[in-house]
Structure 1
Amino acid sequence: MPANSPRIPDPAFHKWPANTSDDYIKARHALLEEEYALINQIEKVAAQRRALPPGPVIPEYVFEEGCWDLNSDLPSKKITLAEVAKKGEVGRKTLVVYHMMMGENNTTACSSCSMFIDGLNGVAKHLAQRFNLVIVAKAPLPAIRAYAKKRAWNNLRFLSSRDNTFNKDMGVEEPEWMKTMPQGPGMSVFRYEEGEDATRFCYQTTPHFGQKHDKEVIRGMDLLTPVWNLLDITPEGRGNWDASLDYVEKWDGVKF
């Protein structure tokens, strides 16, 4: 095990009720070993990701963006990825794009994208300390902003790619893994290189992660939302649950 890898702690740090059976404790210790092996593997993969060689220079796609205030009716503006990235503070030239499934004729985004963006909106102020984050969709900007306002996504920036080929070029429009889908989800990472005055592609992931036993493995973005990970620690697991735009009632009888 590498010297900087997390080590199994004293089991005493992991608590369970005093009357826990020996079988449970034995199984929990075995699970701890697997969980710490997983932590090491995740960090190994993250290091490989960070060490990728420079990607290609990205064309100067022009997007449309509105005011931060979703209630504002100020005119929209044209902006490029480079302008979004390089306006970050010194040392913060990385740009993360969430590709939202919302096509030219849609008034809502897909339920899974909505779930993802709910989470991103909640942590956007924290992420902004490290990188720039924008949500990009093919829909017209007014439709994107109207839906964002309805979802109370007040901490995020939204760009419309309606008038450029960004989605197609990035492989999220009629994606290879599901050509019947007009727009697909994904997360792409770019970095503005000041010395080149250019934006380079760094990394992309989408839900599609190949095939296993002739079935599509749609797990490529699981680590980017807490939802799936929280479901995984419950006895029920994920089951057949999927994100929805219809929600359960809160404890006070009012729907979320």
Structure 2
Amino acid sequence: MTTSAEKGGHPAMQTPPVVSPQAWEEARQQLLVKEKAQTRARDALAAERRRMPWMAVEKAYTFDGPEGRASLTDLFAGRRQLIVYRAFFEPGVFGWPDHGCRGCSMVADQVAHVAHLNARDTTLVFVSRAPQADIARLKARMGWDIPWFTITDDFDADFGVAEWHGTNVFYRDGERVFRTYFINNRGDEQMGSTWNYLDITPLGRQEVWEDSPPGYPQTPTYKWWNWNDSYVADAAPDKKWVEVSEAGEAAFRDRQAGN
């Protein structure tokens, strides 16, 4: 089959065949088998990631932030987990001073509301070498609310992000900080959703279905979800939402059993 695109002078697309609804559903079910296998493999990889060894961070690092100087520990904002994306916005970067790197800016555009990460004891920050005044100006122009700090020392060189973008993950135990994971290159392009960020943290999504080491925090799936303006620290799940989500899960199980 060829499409009407060729009428506009573009090369004809060799599109897939058009079939009946029954044949289409059969094809979808065949593909779904592979998609479910991929999902299970992704979950297994995340479980393995949660068992990676940790590296102690022995060196002190200092950043500039909206409220002045901040240590790496300060970047956690009191939470246990920290995700740090190195964004290129500084003199010498294409787009300076009006814009950050196009790729890093696309990453920033895709970041989900950080309240959902915060609810899982996780903080996300971006870091660049641009001064805070320029970062504040860029955030206002682009509509970004991500906490964004200025690198002032060797943090980028020490954690593999001096010459290229990358995402580092850290865990805080009191005043001790550990590096737990690092991802860059094409691994960064999938980042942005709450789920993908949590999947690279040492604690994961913290839901009961996950394969995590003994003693890791876990709560029932769906029950902790909330509107981004309604999370309250240490609050119990909303009773009405628990009822709604349980009814949805039951209906889904019934449909699956009937297939």
Q: TM-score range by the shorter chain?
A: 0.5 to 0.7
Aligned runs of 1:130-141 on 2, under 5 Å?
130=120, 131-141=122-132
Matches of 1:109 and 1:83 in 2, distance apart?
25
Where does 1:224-243 land on structure 2 (aligned, <5 Å)? 224-225=191-192
Instruction: Describe the SS at the equivalent of 2:119.
Output: coil
CA distance in 2, matches of 1:137, 1:54: 25
Aligned residue type for 2:178: R
Q: What's 2:173 paired with?
A: 193
- Cα–Cα, structure 1 residues 58 and 142, in superposed 2: closer, same or farther, change >3 Å? farther
Superposition pairs for residues 141-180 of structure 1, below 5 Å?
Answer: 141-154=132-145, 156-161=146-151, 163-174=152-163
Give the aligned partner of residue 112 of structure 1: 103
Task: Determine the C-alpha separation between the residues in 1 that align with 2:74 and 2:187.
Answer: 29
- The answer to whether residue 52 in structure 2 is matched with residue 62 in structure 1 is no
Pairing 1:37-52 to 2, within 5 Å after superposition: 37-52=37-52
TM-score calculated relative to the size of structure 2: 0.61
CA offsets 1:153-194 (integer angstroms, 9 cap, x no match): 13x211000x211111111112xxxxxxxxx21111001121
Per-residue Cα deviation, 1:64-92 (whole angstroms, up to 9, x for no partner): 001xxxxxxxxx4100111222x42xxx3
Distance 1:79 1:58 in 2: 16
Supply the distance in 2 between the matched residues of 1:58 and 1:110 (Cα, whole angstroms): 31
Whether the 8 Å CA contact 2:114–2:123 is kept in 1: the answer is no
Please name the residue that 1:12 is paired with: none
Partners of 2:80 and 2:117 lie apart in 1 by 13
1:102 aligned counterpart, secondary structure = coil
Given the alignment of the two structures, is residue 129 of structure 1 paired with residue 119 of structure 2, yes or no?
Answer: yes
Is the 8 Å Cα contact of residues 60 and 82 (structure 1) preserved in structure 2?
Answer: no
Q: Which residue of 1 aligns with 2:21?
A: 20
Q: How does 1:68-87 map to 2 (within 5 A)?
A: 76-85=67-76, 87=77
Q: 1:60, 1:80 within 8 Å by CA — same for their partners in 2?
A: yes
2:149 counterpart letter in structure 1: L
Question: 5+ unaligned residues in a row in structure 2: which ranges?
Answer: 1-18, 197-259
Q: Which runs of 5+ in 1 are unaligned?
A: 1-17, 67-75, 175-183, 208-218, 230-256
Confirm or deny that 1:204 pairs with 2:182.
yes
Larger radius of gyration: 2
Larger RCO: 1 or 2 (CA < 8 Å, sep 6+): 2
For the 8 Å contact 1:63–1:160, the answer to whether it is kept is: yes
Contact preservation (8 Å) 1:104, 1:140 = no
**How far apart are the structure 2 equivalents of 1:38 and 1:223?**
15
Structure 2 residue 189 is the aligned partner of structure 1 residue 222 = yes
Q: State the distance in 2 between where 1:63 and 1:222 align.
A: 25
Query: How many pairs align?
Result: 171
Identity, % of aligned pairs?
27
TM-score (norm 1): 0.62
